[in-house]
């Protein structure tokens, strides 16, 4: 009760004095800025293409036969060693039994001829007149011939066992099925593609570049690829040495930050920066740390410094490509603009700031 009275008296005293509680004054944040001036030296060119897996192959049986089971279809993920399809094993099992029987016969004959050869050698040693050298030589020849028969029969059994193992088509690596070419109870020949597969995650954009630009394309050239509404970073990984159709050269650019949304066959638009003097879309080089991401994947902003109010204004920008650690901004900034390059994640639109390098704000 006493505490309640004391608080009431304190409130009356404050009111009697006519004092008001002042709101805390926000301190201006110190930021580092640069002056937009350096123009990107080059032209941005766009090339249509498609997405392809970096590692892809066709899987086929190493033996011919009747397909008994198909255990995967397009879109299925698989692990190394997983059985994807199976042939009718009965013919291969019969071949194994036949080869095993042939080996048993060859081993029996080899033992018989070995015994006969030993007998001829003993007779010749004990009583040279009881046999002839020709008989000894014939026994040795028969013994050696049957030794080779045993080796051949053993090899045939190994081949029959291998064919039986190959009646199961197993995955050589972890990956994804992109296409399926056979159905159950279909006769397939050795080497006929059964599945098209690829390694998930490693993707590249494949485009055709005209002959008048191919000289400026080199391994390691960085760029961007747009897939639907998402932009990914790329690096040129393969440049064709011969032109294909329309005198264009095939070029592949690996997508360095590909995710599960990147799928083979998607339409791609690859953007590269060329050091050409022709007319084209150019921009200004802005440090990557000056960019503030937006809600969308390709939504980017910078904070422009207003010299009159000493505040920053959040401004949307668009661009294409990288030059080292700098982004090429094509719209949103102009020569002479002052943009913030340090402390960007902590800023908001209209915030009061002070410059660590005041010369840029004059």
pLDDT given for residue 24 in this prediction: 55
DSSP string, 247-259: GEEEEEEEETT--
CATH code for position 240: 2.40.30.170
- Please tell me the number of Cα atoms within 13 Å of 54 on its side-chain side: 16
Do residues 175 and 127 share a domain? Answer: no
For residue 257, the enclosing domain spans 44-55+199-274
pLDDT digits (tens, 9 = 90+) for 76-111: 999 999 999 999 999 999 999 999 999 999 988 888
> Rounded CA gap, 61 and 77, in Å?
19
pLDDT digits (tens, 9 = 90+) for 336-347: 889 999 888 889
- How many Cβ atoms from other residues are within 10 Å of residue 259's Cβ? 10
Q: What is the pTM of this model?
A: 0.54
CATH code for position 300: 2.40.420.20
Do residues 174 and 79 share a domain? Answer: yes
Number of domains composing the chain:
4
Q: Phi and psi at residue 137, in whole multiples of 5°?
A: -65, -40
> Rounded CA gap, 137 and 132, in Å?
9
Rounded to the nearest angstrom, the gap between the alpha carbon of residue 277 and the centroid of all alpha carbons in its chain is: 35
pLDDT digits (tens, 9 = 90+) for 209-230: 999 889 889 888 888 899 988 8
Contacts of 1 (CB under 8 A, 6+ apart): none
> Rounded CA gap, 236 and 220, in Å?
5
């Amino acid at each position: 009760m006493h505490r309640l009275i004391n608080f009431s008296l304190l409130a009356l005293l404050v009111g009697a004095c006519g004092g008001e509680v002042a709101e805390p004054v926000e301190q201006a944040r110190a930021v580092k800025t640069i002056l937009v001036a350096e123009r990107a030296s080059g032209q941005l060119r766009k090339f249509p293409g498609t997405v392809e897996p970096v590692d892809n192959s066709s899987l086929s049986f190493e033996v011919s036969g009747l397909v008994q089971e198909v255990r995967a279809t397009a879109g299925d993920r698989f692990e190394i060693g997983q059985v994807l399809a199976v042939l009718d094993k009965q013919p291969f099992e019969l071949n194994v039994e036949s080869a095993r029987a042939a080996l048993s016969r060859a081993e029996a004959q080899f033992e018989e001829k070995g015994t006969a050869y030993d007998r001829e050698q003993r007779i010749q040693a004990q009583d040279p007149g009881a046999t002839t050298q020709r008989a000894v030589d014939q026994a040795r020849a028969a013994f050696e011939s049957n030794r080779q028969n045993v080796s051949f029969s053993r090899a045939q059994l190994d081949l029959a066992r291998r064919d039986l193992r190959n009646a199961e088509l197993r995955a050589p690596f972890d990956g994804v099925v992109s296409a399926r070419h056979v159905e159950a109870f279909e006769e397939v020949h050795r080497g006929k593609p059964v599945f098209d597969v690829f390694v998930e995650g490693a993707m590249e954009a494949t485009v055709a570049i005209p002959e008048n630009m191919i000289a400026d394309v080199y391994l390691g050239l960085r760029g961007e690829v747009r897939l639907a509404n998402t932009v990914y970073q790329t690096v040129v990984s393969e440049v064709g040495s011969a032109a294909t159709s329309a005198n264009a050269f095939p070029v592949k650019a690996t997508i360095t930050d590909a995710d599960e949304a990147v799928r083979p066959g998607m339409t791609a638009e690859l953007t590269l920066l060329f050091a050409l003097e022709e007319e084209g879309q150019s921009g200004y080089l802005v440090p990557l740390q000056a960019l503030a991401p937006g809600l969308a994947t390709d939504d980017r902003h910078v904070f422009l410094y207003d010299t009159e109010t000493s505040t920053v204004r959040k401004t949307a920008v668009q661009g294409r490509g990288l030059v080292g650690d700098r982004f090429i901004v094509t719209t949103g900034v102009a020569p002479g603009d002052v943009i913030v390059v340090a402390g960007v994640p902590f800023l908001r639109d209209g915030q009061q700031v002070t410059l660590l390098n005041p010369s840029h704000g004059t």
